[in-house]
Structure 1
Amino acid sequence: MSRGICLVVEDDEDIAGLISLILTQEGFDVHAVGTGMAALREAPGLNPALITLDLGLPDIDGLHIAQDLRKMTAAPLLILTARAAVTDQLDGMSAGASGYLAKPFRPHELRDAINQICPAHS
């Protein structure tokens, strides 16, 4: 049974593929986009159960996208980024993130973060 749609916002195709694989294994239907504008365009129609968001996007800073997504949806938002400083994490949480995971991450760390902010219903 599907846990719903996860919107993956990641411009690196290899990383997006890894995230998508893990999310699919965790029971999500994955919809991946590579830009912030695409995320803002797609999110309302998808009604996502979870969103993963890279902060280093080619078009718009991910923190701005997080704030805009938060206005559109109450879906848990997991930031996955190379910005590992504590101040970056605080900024991400202030922008509406439910969780924050620095790259590079191990697959089990992503699974743990997903299941912490978006528990599976039994």
Structure 2
Amino acid sequence: MGSWGSRGVCLVIEDDQDIRNLLTLILTGIGFEVHAVSSARDAVRAAKALPLVLVTVDLGLPDGDGLDVAHDIRKLSDAPLLIVTAHAEPHDELAGLASGAAAYLVKPFRPRELTELVDRICPAGTPLASMAAREVADEDRRH
């Protein structure tokens, strides 16, 4: 299956490098190939190019609103969206879920909280993950 993780490709959208690195470490550890970006512009570009099975989105991005990014990615991909943010008010969570997110996680979070949410919204072996893994394997064979 090439260099891709067995659970497929996860796009991490987070401007804080420490949190981006933590998300990458945790998600790689549970089997994802992580592509991490720090801006709204790079997030949409990556979403167009990658066979995504999961997306994490921070709401506070330097060049755009994370909710707008979530809406844009939802138009490009059926991958579950997980909002990971410091915005902890109930209206923030409702807006996040209304943007197409499958779940909402408030920072700071425990790694176990993240892995449990990910396992719930993107279980290993789901049709989307299996389809994306086949697409990547087919692409690897062509090259």
Q: TM-score range by the shorter chain?
A: over 0.9
Equivalents in 2 of 1:119, 1:58: separation in Å? 31
The structural deviation recorded for 1:45 is: 1.0
Aligned counterpart, 1:68? 72
Instruction: Give runs of ≥4 in structure 1 deviating > 2 Å.
Output: none
TM-score for both structures, normalised by structure 2: 0.83
The structural deviation recorded for 1:82 is: 0.2
Aligned partner of 1:34: which letter? S
The structural deviation recorded for 1:75 is: 0.3
Give the structure, 1 or 2, with the largest relative contact order (CA under 8 Å, sep 6 or more): 2
Count of aligned positions: 122
Aligned counterpart, 2:138? none
1:28 aligned onto 2:32? yes
Aligned partner of 2:62: which letter? P
Equivalents in 1 of 2:121, 2:88: separation in Å? 19
Following superposition of structure 1 onto structure 2, how do residues 90-101 of structure 1 map, counting pairs within 5 Å? 90-101=94-105
Following superposition of structure 1 onto structure 2, how do residues 97-116 of structure 1 map, counting pairs within 5 Å? 97-116=101-120
Q: Let me know the Cα RMSD of the aligned residues.
A: 1.1
Aligned partner of 2:88: which letter? A
Question: Structure 1 regions of 5+ residues with no counterpart?
Answer: none
Question: Structure 2 regions of 5+ residues with no counterpart?
Answer: 127-143
TM-score for both structures, normalised by structure 1: 0.97
Per-residue Cα deviation, 1:57-107 (whole angstroms, up to 9, x for no partner): 000000010111101100000000000111000000000001100000000
Q: 2:44 aligns with which of 15, 40, 44?
A: 40
Equivalents in 1 of 2:39, 2:6: separation in Å? 25
Bigger radius of gyration among the two: 2
Per-residue Cα deviation, 1:18-66 (whole angstroms, up to 9, x for no partner): 0000000110000000001100011111021100000000000000101
Equivalents in 2 of 1:61, 1:9: separation in Å? 11
Equivalents in 2 of 1:3, 1:47: separation in Å? 11
Partner of 1:49, secondary structure, is: strand
